[in-house]
Structure 1
Amino acid sequence: MEDVITDIPPPSRFFQEDLNNFTAPSPTLPPPFLIFSNPKTKPNSPLRPSLLIIAISTPSIILLHHCVSSKPPIGTLLLPEISLSGNSIEPSPKDKSCHIYAVDDENSIMAVLVQFRVVAERSHAVAKLLIDGEAQICPERVLILDSVQSRNFRGNLPPDEELAFKLETTAALMEEQEGLGALIRGLGFFLSGSVMDGLGAALLGRCQMRRIKGTMCVTWPESGALAVSLLKSLLMDVLPSLEHLRVSEMDDDGGRLDSELYT
């Protein structure tokens, strides 16, 4: 006769994945949202800049910070999971923040400095918020500044050499084919077999879906003075004010050119 207390119980009739059905699902994170510093900045109609520059890479954040450091942000994108503790009162490239700036007085050029890491699961929500097309921001053209990571590149990336490539939406490519010129000159296309992921890819995909002229400028290395100098030379036609900036001065004032801006 079997002893129901001491005998080994029979195996469960459930598979391991079936047992997970009884586990309470993880709480859903609140969606990201935009806050505008001045209610008049965001009227009932969307903001319509002729060019929206979105800086994701460390060199682009440092470079654009020096272009807009004298200007107050017109808006801020907030991710509920990103803590604001430790941020400075005045905007700094060391903060974990995402501020929106008007580069010129007419709001025709706007810049977004994404100074925190956006995980893949949140990239599309952030991209939709920044390039809405209906309620928030509806740009005519978008320039995304990102960096390539060695794991996504087909080939070797030399540590002591600076490289730059571009990816474009169909609308931007058609404009070039019609002889209207490229937003950034002298850049070859990203090598076939290499991939881009994360927020930059989500933003470019959003531009493609909305039929917006979108260009992604991808640079290597991911940080350092070489990358900042390269990016500065590429953006001179887009932002002529960069001509008066010196990379050495950026390094002296805490620009952190030799380290990662965020983790």
Structure 2
Amino acid sequence: MDDVITDIPPPSRLLLEDLNNFTPPPPHLPSPFLVLSSAESKKTLRPSLLIIAMSSPSLHFLHHLSSKTLIGTLVLPEIPFAGNSIEPSLRDKSCNIYTINDADKMIMFVLVQYSVTSERAHAVARVLIGEKIIPQRVLILDSVQSRNFRGKLSPDETIAFKLETSLERENVGDVSLVKGFDYYPSGSVVDGLAAALLSRCQLMKIKGTLCVSWPDLGAPVMSLVKSLLARDVLTGIDYTVDKNYENEYLRLSRRKDRIDSDLYT
């Protein structure tokens, strides 16, 4: 009689690599691409500064700059246009590109109003930096993700940190773009589109800075981001801001707080 404990078991009928035969391959997604106005589509854009906004306070502040010019959008094919308004709105799932011209210096900013998966982050970063758009300097504005932060984050505490490319950190013959911010703590990480954009700057040898703030909503963090942009980034640039943006942002913050509190009642 066979010993079922000590005998060598029979070989499996399925090899490990054969298991993939039962899983259909993921569908191929078209590459993201830019749609620019006719005046901009025929030339390479070389802004002195490219600002890429993803956090709520930075999106609200830059969306309400009344002196901006819409020049195009980045299309991510898997993001539907259904439900978007004719005029740009913060409720849209869009990635619009704007310029502010000041004498011979052009500043561009991109408002990323949809979520970009990790698998698509590097493809989006390549389109925004180094192909059609070659900036001298890049500023990325994102929020701290609690899952990536080494330490406790209180919703009542407003904090911000920065990460820089080696060229920005060396700061040869130029002043730092963002002053007064501590560097992101060791052991904490940044992922997704923000990390892909900063990596793209490092690869292209472009001066790049990533600023992350916490929390994503609330008057204190809006004041912090507004101060950063007005004091360090847009200094000397002639621009105006719609006065309603702070009220709209506070209404969003209160609505989000109410939704979050309802989850625990």
Shift of 1:229: 1.0
Q: 1:195 maps to which residue? A: 189
> For residues 254 and 232 of structure 1, do their structure 2 counterparts lie closer, same or farther at Cα, with a shift above 3 Å needed?
closer
1:160 maps to which of 142, 156, 176: 156
Shift of 1:93: 1.1
Uncovered stretches (5+) of structure 2, i.e. residues with no partner: 1-9, 257-265
Q: 1:29 maps to which residue? A: 29
Q: 2:78 maps to which residue? A: 81
1:184 maps to which of 173, 178, 185: 178
Alignment TM-score, normalising by the size of structure 2 = 0.84
Alignment TM-score, normalising by the size of structure 1 = 0.84
Task: Give CA deviations for 1:145-168 in whole Å, capped at 9, x if unaligned.
Answer: 011111111111121111011000
8 A contact 1:131–1:138 mirrored in 2 = yes
Q: 1:43 maps to which residue? A: 42
| Correspondences of 1:1-263 after superposition (within 5 Å) | 13-15=13-15, 17-37=17-37, 39-44=38-43, 46-67=44-65, 69=66, 71-104=68-101, 108-132=106-130, 135-175=131-171, 178=172, 180-236=174-230, 237-240=232-235, 245=241, 249-253=244-248, 257-258=252-253
Shift of 1:62: 0.7
Q: 2:262 maps to which residue? A: none
Task: Give CA deviations for 1:65-115 in whole Å, capped at 9, x if unaligned.
Answer: 011x45441010001110111111110111100000002255610000000
Q: 1:7 maps to which residue? A: none
8 A contact 2:74–2:96 mirrored in 1 = yes
> For residues 188 and 23 of structure 1, do their structure 2 counterparts lie closer, same or farther at Cα, with a shift above 3 Å needed?
closer
How many angstroms apart in 2 are the aligned matches of 1:129 and 1:206? Answer: 10
Shift of 1:169: 0.1
Cα RMSD for the two superposed structures: 2.4
* Number of aligned residues: 243
Identity value in percent: 57
8 A contact 2:149–2:189 mirrored in 1 = yes
Task: Give CA deviations for 1:195-253 in whole Å, capped at 9, x if unaligned.
Answer: 00010000000000000000001111022222111101111131246996588x32434
How many angstroms apart in 2 are the aligned matches of 1:229 and 1:201? Answer: 25
How many angstroms apart in 2 are the aligned matches of 1:256 and 1:11? Answer: 64
Which residue identity does 1:92 align to in structure 2? Answer: S
> For residues 242 and 150 of structure 1, do their structure 2 counterparts lie closer, same or farther at Cα, with a shift above 3 Å needed?
farther
> For residues 242 and 192 of structure 1, do their structure 2 counterparts lie closer, same or farther at Cα, with a shift above 3 Å needed?
farther
Q: Secondary structure at the match of 2:196?
A: helix
How many angstroms apart in 2 are the aligned matches of 1:146 and 1:130? Answer: 16
8 A contact 1:73–1:100 mirrored in 2 = yes
8 A contact 1:59–1:257 mirrored in 2 = no
How many angstroms apart in 1 are the aligned matches of 2:108 and 2:180? Answer: 23
8 A contact 1:232–1:242 mirrored in 2 = no
Q: Secondary structure at the match of 2:101?
A: coil
Q: Secondary structure at the match of 2:62?
A: helix
